[in-house]
């Protein structure tokens, strides 16, 4: 009787290769894709909040962005 074909090794032998493949996929994926990208409106809000643009320019560009969003 062969004792190596019974027990835990028989049922979970597929687990180690699956874990290795999963870890490789995790570490090789593009880290830039996981970062949240800022929307154009977020960037515009930050520029206005920091004083980079005045209220009129903010309103004009915000209106333009909303129009572009409606066209999509």
pLDDT, tens only, 39-58? 888 899 999 999 999 999 99
* pLDDT in the model for residue 72: 73
Number of domains the chain contains: 2
* pLDDT in the model for residue 71: 81
My answer on whether 44 and 24 are in the same domain is: no
My answer on whether 45 and 25 are in the same domain is: no
My answer on whether 29 and 47 are in the same domain is: no
My answer on whether 7 and 28 are in the same domain is: yes
My answer on whether 53 and 67 are in the same domain is: yes
- For residues 60, 62, 63, 69, the Cα torsion angle rounded to the nearest 10 degrees is 150
My answer on whether 21 and 7 are in the same domain is: yes
CA distance 60 to 50: 17
My answer on whether 30 and 44 are in the same domain is: no
Which residues of the chain are under the pLDDT cut of 70? 1-12, 30-38
Host domain of residue 58: 40-71
């Amino acid at each position: 009787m062969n004792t190596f074909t019974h027990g835990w090794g028989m049922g979970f032998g597929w687990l180690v290769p699956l874990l290795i493949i999963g870890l490789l996929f995790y570490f090789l994926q593009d880290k830039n894709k996981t970062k949240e990208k800022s929307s154009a409106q977020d960037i515009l809000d930050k520029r206005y909040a920091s004083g980079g643009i005045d209220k009129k320019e903010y309103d004009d560009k915000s209106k333009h962005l909303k129009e572009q969003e409606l066209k999509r």
